[in-house]
Amino acid sequence: MNDRSINSFVRRDWAVVILFVVALGYNVWGLSHHFTMGFMAGHEFRQSQTALIARYIDQENNFGLLYEVPVLGKPWVALLLEVPVYQWSVVGLSRLTGWEHVVAARAVSVTCFYVMLGGVWLLLGRLGVPRLKRLVFLGLILATPVYVFYSRAFLMDAMALMGSVWWLYAFVRVMQERDWRWLAVAVVAGSLSALIKGAVYAVWLVPGAAYGAWVLWGEYRAKLGWKRLVQTVCWGLGTVVVALGLLKLWLDYTDPIKAAHASAWIFTSKNLSLGNWGMFSAEALLSGTVWRHFLQCWEQAIMSRWLLGGVLLAGLFLRSVRGPVLGIGGMFFVAQFMMPYAFAYQDYYYYICAVFAVVAAGYVVTGLLERPQTAWAGLALWVVLFAAQVQAYRLDYYRQQSVVHEGGYPFTTVIREMTPKNSVIVVAGADWAAMTPLYAERRALMVRNGLENDRDYLRRAFGDLKGELVSAVVLWQQTRHNRNFIEQVCAHFGFDAKRPTFSWEDKADVYVNPLYARAVQFRLLDDRRLAGIRLPESAHEIVKDARVLRFTPEEARVTFVQMEPLPYQVSFDLGLDWMDLGNRKVLSVHPNADIWIDPGAHTSRIEWTFGMFESAYVKEGDKTDGVIFLVTGETPDGASRIIYERLLDPLHNEADRGDQRVVIPYSPLPGESLRFSTRGNRSTAYDWAYIHEVMVR
């Protein structure tokens, strides 16, 4: 080779390194863009379900296999799709670092993506690709839109893919070396992938099976004897038998739970594989609609379909790389044929198999690079592919990822802030997309689309919520006009079916439990934060209402978590409302407010923490003239006695500012109940008072 040729190859090698560094930098930039943003761009319905699981694992400190997915009603554990290794990792990292779950989730996903790349690097080495040329393949993977976008998602796919890639590498090492250490790696990596997301493992089993068959065929042709063939089969099966066995145990454990549920039965393994995925469905594969969606997803997740198809087709005419292009590129299509509906309608599924298409395209690039006369054509093709990937990302995923939003809807903020924390919501018209319960921070009965007209199902699903406090009913889109459903759900839970408590734009109507609806409307009249929230005309005519509201024990347990014993009835002129005060919730008791408690016969003291909001006496203009806090004992014969009375006047008395905690000696009379009250001093203007805690011991 002359000096000119040597210099040409040196320049080519430096160009490869530089292009790889550019791709790596681009990938890091894309992964980090809006990394701490609360909005989970990209199939938020699926990310929100994963996030919801993590929340309740953390909240309930439940790291077991029977975890909550509270979206389809009770029992809350019915929707068990995966072993939540990913969610455990997110919660663990969040607790270790103090990061929000969404940030911890992205960190876990990104880490898994880069560890997966290490497995690809080693697999390419086993395929005989020199180290420098491997940078071409990794550079193309780094720039692939689906790996930029979904490697930062609150999804377990990156972890499952990592396990599958390392399983395949360990499998190759086992087949080549018969090494027990690599067998152990294969068992662990395969089991991880299978239990986290079996669909990913199923796809990656195919190239493993193909390689295993190739090894067997080679040994057969070499006439190594039947004993050697049996050993090879046993080593190969040893890498998958544990993973497949654990997966079967998991399905045997979870399928009956899902099958017994009123609506989660659709997510049994059989229904998922046939209905949701369309496993090897000839009807799906012959559908023009499905193929149109395939092609759209290629454009979205990888690059221009014409460029991708053209490069793979060209690779079949390059003798030096024809085999890898055909075999590895073929796996890209096999994956889609295995689960056509999943790939056609959910672009994030391409996270499983895009690597096959990109690696096949990489072989075309390296096939050109290895020949002096076409080396620069190879570099040019790499640049074109990279540019096409960047363009695909810019046109779609980047726009989604650039949305400035913390997630949720204005009405989920209302539910989260103005209804009891441990209450339940009913949602219809949103299928099982978990954004509403996630951002409202409430367990939910989500009525899957179509079931809102099934009266038998509704009776069962509503009945399953017995013992729970339903605080709101959320109706999306057309369900807002389904009067039969509205009347059935409102009648069952005691709501007012005449009109929604409030609406959000023309998309959602929210009916709030009558116990809290009045206070919700009253607060929304003056709340300017929540764009698109609309109140009915009747809400603008709110006047004081001294009605007595009675509570069931279940309702009281959820509503009055800071009171003991639990109240059995209340009366609030402006409605029952828990409000934020610092990092805690306090009960708003703007006069006139009354709370009745049955103290029991064996009590000796009352512990009461109350006060006034600072805004009542530091605001500009008119201020409070003070609030009277009272405890009155009332007996069945109608007699009453004042047990405690105090005027709080924080404007003129600094000692009356902040929390006031009193311990009141108390000896109950037979049958006596206690009424905790607030009254105005001279007027009730700006008398923004609160109760934090009541304990009668």
- For CA atoms 375, 381, 385, 390, give the dihedral sign: positive
| Predicted confidence (pLDDT) per residue in 151-178, tens digit | 999 999 999 999 999 999 999 999 999 9
CB 578 within 8 A of CB 585: yes
Q: How far apart are CA 120 and CA 114, in angstroms?
A: 10
- Range with the poorest average pLDDT among 371-375, 386-390, 681-685: 371-375
| For residue 8, pLDDT beyond 70 | no
* Whether domain 549-696 has CATH 3.30.465.10: no
Nearest Cα residue to 660 out of 684, 617, 691, 618: 691
Distance of alpha carbon 141 from alpha carbon 362, whole angstroms? 9
Whole-angstrom distance, CA of residue 174 vs CA of residue 178 = 5
Whether residue 384 is predicted with pLDDT greater than 90 in this model: the reply is yes
DSSP conformation class of 273: I
- In whole angstroms, give the CA distance from residue 414 to residue 532: 12
**C-alpha pair distances (Å), 270 with each of 122, 190, 243, 273, 391:** 36, 22, 19, 5, 39
- The pLDDT of residue 538 is 85
As a whole number of Å, the end-to-end CA separation of the chain is 96
Extract the tokens encoding 517. Answer: 């609806």
- Which class for 483: exposed (0-12), middle (13-18), buried (19 or more C-beta within 10 A)? exposed
pLDDT range class, residue 10, cuts 50, 70, 90: low
Residue 113 three-state SS: helix
Alpha-helical runs (H) found in 80-130: 85-97, 101-126
Assign 3 a pLDDT band (cuts: 50, 70, 90): very low
Length of the chain: 697
Instruction: Please check the confidence at residue 542 and state whether its pLDDT lies above 70.
Output: no
Q: What is the tens place of the pLDDT at every residue in 119-148?
A: 999 999 999 999 999 999 999 999 999 999
Mean pLDDT of 571-584: 90
Runs of H (alpha helix) within 509-658: 514-525, 553-559, 615-618
Q: Which residue has the tokens 């319960």?
A: 437
Whether pLDDT at 475 is above 50 = yes
Q: What is the pLDDT of residue 6?
A: 46
- The domains of the chain are located at 164-258, 410-541, 549-696
504 pairs with which residues across the strands?
508, 533
**28-87 pLDDT per residue, tens:** 999 999 999 999 999 999 999 999 999 999 999 999 999 999 999 999 999 999 999 999
Q: What is the pLDDT of residue 641?
A: 97
Residue 292's Cβ-count burial label (10 Å; 0-12, 13-18, 19+) is exposed
Pairing of strands 563-564, 689-696: parallel
Residues 315 and 322: their CA atoms lie apart, in Å, by 6
683, 590 contact by CB (below 8 A): no
HSE-up (13 A, CA, CB side) for residue 290? 17
Helices 85-97 & 157-177 angle (0-180, nearest 10): 120
Task: Give every CB contact of residue 676 below 8 A, 6+ residues apart in sequence.
Answer: 594, 595, 597, 608, 629, 630, 631, 691, 694
Q: By C-alpha distance, which of 262, 227, 236 is closest to 182?
A: 236
Q: Specify the 3-state DSSP secondary structure of 496.
A: coil
- For residue 325, give Cα distances in angstroms to 122, 227, 366, 369: 18, 34, 11, 15
Identify the band that residue 640 occupies on the pLDDT scale cut at 50, 70 and 90.
very high
Read off the amino acid at residue 258.
Answer: K
pLDDT of residue 528: 80
d(CA 109, CA 103): 10
| Residue pair 153/107 in contact by the 8 Å Cβ criterion | no
Query: 111-121: per-residue pLDDT in tens?
Result: 999 999 999 99
Name the pairing type of β-strands 593-597 and 567-572. antiparallel
- Per residue in 416-456, pLDDT tens? 999 998 999 999 999 999 999 999 999 999 999 999 999 99
Please compute, for residue 521, the number of CA atoms within 13 A of its CA located in the half-sphere on the CB side: 25
Residue 541 has pLDDT above 80, yes or no: no
- The reported pLDDT for the residue numbered 360 is 97
Beta-carbon contacts of residue 109 (< 8 Å; ≥ 6 apart):
150, 151, 152, 153, 154, 155, 157, 158, 159
